[in-house]
Amino acid sequence: RKEVEQDPGPFNVPEGATVAFNCTYSNSASQSFFWYRQDCRKEPKLLMSVYSSGNEDGRFTAQLNRASQYISLLIRDSKLSDSATYLCVVNMRGNEKLTFGTGTRLTIIP
Amino acid sequence: DTAVSQTPKYLVTQMGNDKSIKCEQNLGHDTMYWYKQDSKKFLKIMFSYNNKELIINETVPNRFSPKSPDKAHLNLHINSLELGDSAVYFCASSQALTGQETQYFGPGTRLLVL
């Protein structure tokens, strides 16, 4: 089983719709969670960290479910500029490295 | 005022050659990384350095040799290039080596081995 698993998509969603991605992680010792965004032929950039109580940043909401070992990202009122690949990223307690999922590709359709 | 820069941006070379990729960060960070992103877009860490000291070496073939002359620079030298080395190589940096810090990535070096 992969350490971090994501549905690769692609998700093709009309502009203005709400879209949600899930990501599962295999190691229960994981302690830090992030969503990164990677535009086509560009570098990954941090979108948001994911906190235990869930957190929101504008149209983006991240949730963590430790019992089921998954994190989610919800995008409301999607914009054309949201088209990108969304990478789920996990760090294990006591481990300095980040483990990246393979990403979920999102395309917002006008 | 680019935060993390890499050179070259594109690298096309023949199998068996030796090549280097350079990375510099002007963020004052202590930690730098090399990642490889293959054709399936899977991003995997190769090395990390903290204050010029090698911390993570993820079972990368010893044809790959990172070098950190100072904490703002982390270069990657690759000997005897193979077809399977074709990928995008990203340099990144973070404030500290805790795994909880935001990592800032360079624009990537697209390596094609023919």
* pLDDT one-digit tens code per residue, B54-63: 888 887 899 9
Token reading at B52? 């010029």
pLDDT at residue A38 in the model: 97
Contact A103 B41 (CB under 8 A): yes
pLDDT at residue A94 in the model: 66
* DSSP assigned state of B95: S
Strands A104-109 and B43-50: unpaired
The three-state secondary structure class of A50 is strand
Contact B97 A42 (CB under 8 A): no
Per-chain mean pLDDT for chain A: 92
Nearest to B102 among A46, A97, A102 (CB): A46
- Other C-beta atoms within 10 Å of B80: how many? 11
Per-chain mean pLDDT for chain B: 93
Residue A32 pLDDT exceeds 70: yes
End-to-end distance of chain A based on CA atoms, in angstroms? 37
Q: How far apart are CA B63 and CA A63, in angstroms?
A: 41
pLDDT in tens, B13-46: 999 999 999 999 999 999 999 999 998 888 999 9
pLDDT at residue B1 in the model: 62
Q: Which positions in chain B touch A97 (Cβ < 8 Å)?
A: 45, 48, 56, 58, 99
Q: Residue written as tokens 């998954």?
A: A70
pLDDT in tens, A85-99: 999 999 876 667 889
Q: How far apart are CA A85 and CA A14, in angstroms?
A: 16
Nearest to B48 among A49, A92, A96 (CB): A96
CB distance A15 to A108 below 8 Å: yes
Residue of B nearest to A100 (CA): B43
Strands B10-13 and B4-7: unpaired
Closest chain B C-alpha to A16 CA, distance in angstroms: 27
